[in-house]
Amino acid sequence: MTKPTIQIHNIETGEIIEREMNTQEFAEYKKSVELADDMHAEAAEKAAQRQLILDKLGLTADEAKLLLS
């Protein structure tokens, strides 16, 4: 597997350097991807739990918003 590339843009000269990530950058990138995946899974789980509660109460999301506003 090749590592993702990183772009470095020098705004003074307009030079753009594109290279593969080094080991440290790649490790940080993988951590960020894992964190984003975890956050997405958590949000999906919360949405499923919220929908389960609404289904038990027989309410739509709009009706619940009206009750809570």
Q: What is the mean pLDDT of residues 9-34?
A: 95
pLDDT at res. 1: 60
Domain count, the chain: 1
State mean pLDDT over 19-44: 96
Percent residues over pLDDT 90 in the chain: 90
Contact by Cβ (8 Å): 67, 53: no
Mean pLDDT along residues 51-62: 94
Range of the domain at 57: 5-68
Q: How many CA atoms lie within 13 A of 64 on its CB side?
A: 12
Hey, what amino acid is at 62?
Answer: D
